[in-house]
Amino acid sequence: MTDSRSYRWLSVLSVAGFFGAWYVVNAAHLAPANLLPSMQEVWAALLDILHNGYRGTTLWENAAATLGRCLGGFVLAAIVGVPLGLWMGRSPVLAASIDYILQFMRPLPPLSYLILLILWLGTGDTSKVALLFLAAFPTIAMAAMAGVRGVNRQRIQAALACGATRAQVFRHVVLPSCLPMTMTGLRIALAVTFSTVVAAELMTASNGLGWMVFSASQFLRTDIVLLGVLILGVLGMALSRALLSLDLWLVHWRGRD
Amino acid sequence: MPDATDGRRLVAGEVFVSFAGVGVTYGSGAGRVPALEGISLDFAAGDFVCVVGPSGCGKTTLMQSLAGFLKPSSGTVSIDGRPVDGPGADRGVVFQQPALFPWLTVGGNAGFGPMLRGESRAARAETVEQHLRTVGLWEFRDRYPYELSGGMQQRLAIVRALVNKPKILLMDEPFGALDALTREKMQEELHTVWRRTGMTVLLITHSVEEAVYLGTDVVVMSARPGRIVERIAAPFARREGERSSRETKSLPAFVALRERVLSLIWQSAET
């Protein structure tokens, strides 16, 4: 982290290089204009959508819809996944009973069962939040479980020799010990949730950034498609950095212990 | 810290800690490994008992059975007349790795035991300050353990145990991971604490010199299954304090005792 900070200018430069290349390709007419709109066109599309909205929806509405689904599914998965994972770490019986189910679900592409959820729960937000919950929760639960299993035994013994009860060991040693691993699990799960929500909106939705991109693509409005992709990328980056900041603040001992 | 030197003299000679026919076996069935066999060892309050022996002789197992981290397969371990039944704050433990809590500050680590007992922040502040000052860590109270050097971390681990006013301090190779100079300094500090408090100490160590220098008693163990080969009284711990550590360690009597313990370990490792 600290090492890469002195090379931050390089990161900025590469972004500038990307926009530069985009500009050159357009200016030199290296690609058909209807397939690769120019930066100015995308900028104009942004201003247009900010002022007039897109097919009766505002940009904020779409961004809020996407974020709301994403965070709804993620928070639900965290609320269920973290306690379940902690419990699994403590109870080999519980861990064994859910192990295969989690292992089956974790690598499964969520979109493969989206259609089932839509049939069962309808095309509204319920099926999407359920999808995101299922996409995120195995990763979170398994990370929390690994956290419990990886607790340093001597820390537990040191606490016991300070007079800790079993409950106190859990509260004052096991829980904080799990924090680094659990936070890592949450960060991976958030990335999964975000990419899944957009994909789900591409398939079925009446608002959201994914829907906007999909709808624009049907009208061959590549300027709006590109704009949507850029907004999604920046939004995803912001989400993941917010969680990273929380992680660095909470788990201040990460990598130094 | 309360001065318990007189208390130690009063009870000296009475059995304080007792291992009676203790055996520990790991595993089960064909994979059974006897770690300790027929250990009988008594010592008095205020004794500083050092256990040495080749690797795998069960030194750590011996300490863990007194700490209550494991239950012996046979025999009983008791302290102050009561059989050991699980771990407790009356037996302070220090490991080779400091095993501090990195999410707590230095002060939080030092006050961990009192915090568990529900002592208020104000009530534990005084004890914590006193202990941290003794080992020179008071100015680091708001830092985190990972900001301390190895020696300071181990001092903090000792403080975390001492704050609970244990009846005995159990130490498993506590200075093994430190550099030679820090190790000698820590030996001095431990010796000073022991002299001042009259606390009972069980120290597991690989260093024969450390055992002969710090211990009132040196217990030599043999490997697999661990048995006690010999228990030797060492006179250097209760010396009067004008001699330096280096002077003591080069006394002919010291060197002779060190060599005797070493040859016992060699013999036990060969048979």
Q: Which residues of B touch A179 (CB under 8 A)?
A: 103
Task: Please check whether residues B58 and B174 belong to one and the same domain.
Answer: yes
Task: Please check whether residues B60 and B157 belong to one and the same domain.
Answer: no
Task: Please check whether residues B265 and B179 belong to one and the same domain.
Answer: yes
Across the interface, whether the CB atoms of B160 and A257 are under 8 A apart is answered no
Q: What is the pLDDT of residues B207-266, one digit of tens each?
A: 998 998 988 999 998 887 888 888 888 888 777 666 777 888 888 888 888 888 888 888
Task: Please check whether residues B161 and B172 belong to one and the same domain.
Answer: no
Please indicate whether residue A240 or residue A124 has the higher confidence score (pLDDT). A240
Tokens describing residue B114: 């009192």
Q: Render chain B in DSSP notation, one character per residue.
A: ----HHHHHHHTTSEEEEEEEEEEEES-GGG-EEEEEEEEEEEETT-EEEEE-STTSSHHHHHHHHHTSS--SEEEEEETTEE--S--TTEEEE-SS----TTS-HHHHHTHHHHHTT--HHHHHHHHHHHHHHTT-GGGTTS-GGGS-HHHHHHHHHHHHHTT--SEEEEESTTTTS-HHHHHHHHHHHHHHHHHH--EEEEE-S-HHHHHHH-SEEEEEETTTBEEEEEEE-SSTTS-TTS-HHHHHHSHHHHHHHHHHHHHHHHHHH-
Out of B97, B116, B146, name the one closest to residue A162 (CB).
B116
pLDDT for res A132:
94
pLDDT for res B271:
58
Domain ranges of chain A: 1-30, 38-250
**Backbone dihedral region for residue A230 (phi beyond 0: left; psi -120 to 50: alpha; all else: beta):** alpha
Q: Percent of chain A at pLDDT above 70?
A: 98
Task: Please check whether residues B50 and B176 belong to one and the same domain.
Answer: yes
Residue B96 lies in a domain: no
Residue B95 lies in a domain: no
pTM assigned to the model: 0.84
Nearest to B245 by CA among B204, B203, B213, B198: B213
pLDDT for res B7:
34
Range of the domain at B128: 103-165
**pLDDT category of residue A31 using cuts at 50, 70 and 90:** confident
* pLDDT surpasses 80 at B185: yes
Task: Please check whether residues B86 and B175 belong to one and the same domain.
Answer: yes
Task: Please check whether residues B134 and B202 belong to one and the same domain.
Answer: no
Task: Please list, residue by residue across A28-56, b when 16 or more beta carbons sit within 10 angstroms of its beta carbon and e when fewer do.
Answer: eeeeeeeeebbeebbeebbeebeeeebee
Residue B74 lies in a domain: yes
Domain count, chain B: 2
Q: What is the pLDDT of residues A169-199, one digit of tens each?
A: 999 999 999 999 999 999 999 999 999 998 8
Residue B9 lies in a domain: yes
Q: Which residues of B touch A164 (CB under 8 A)?
A: 116
pLDDT for res B29:
75
Task: Please check whether residues B203 and B124 belong to one and the same domain.
Answer: no
What is the spatial distance between Cα A45 and Cα B235, in angstroms, rounded to a whole number? 90
Task: Please check whether residues B120 and B190 belong to one and the same domain.
Answer: no
pLDDT for res A205:
80
Across the interface, whether the CB atoms of B95 and A154 are under 8 A apart is answered yes
pLDDT for res B114:
92
Q: What is the pLDDT of residues A220-232, one digit of tens each?
A: 889 999 999 999 9
Q: Which residues of A touch B150 (CB under 8 A)?
A: none
Please indicate whether residue A203 or residue A92 has the higher confidence score (pLDDT). A92
Task: Please check whether residues B188 and B257 belong to one and the same domain.
Answer: yes
pLDDT for res B4:
36
Task: Please check whether residues B265 and B176 belong to one and the same domain.
Answer: yes
Backbone angles phi, psi at B168, to 5 degrees: -150, 150
What number does CATH give the domain A38-250? 1.10.3720.10
Q: What is the pLDDT of residues B107-141, one digit of tens each?
A: 999 999 999 998 888 888 888 998 899 888 999 99
**Which CATH number belongs to the domain containing residue B213 in this structure?**
3.40.50.300
Domain boundary among B165, B183, B208: B165
pLDDT for res B3:
38
Out of A152, A165, A179, name the one closest to residue B99 (CB).
A152
Task: Please check whether residues B14 and B80 belong to one and the same domain.
Answer: yes
Average pLDDT, whole number, for chain A? 91
- Residue A36 is classified by DSSP as S
Out of A158, A165, A253, name the one closest to residue B146 (CB).
A253
| Distance (Å) from the alpha carbon of A121 to chain B's nearest alpha carbon | 43
pLDDT for res B10:
41
Domain boundary among B117, B132, B165: B165
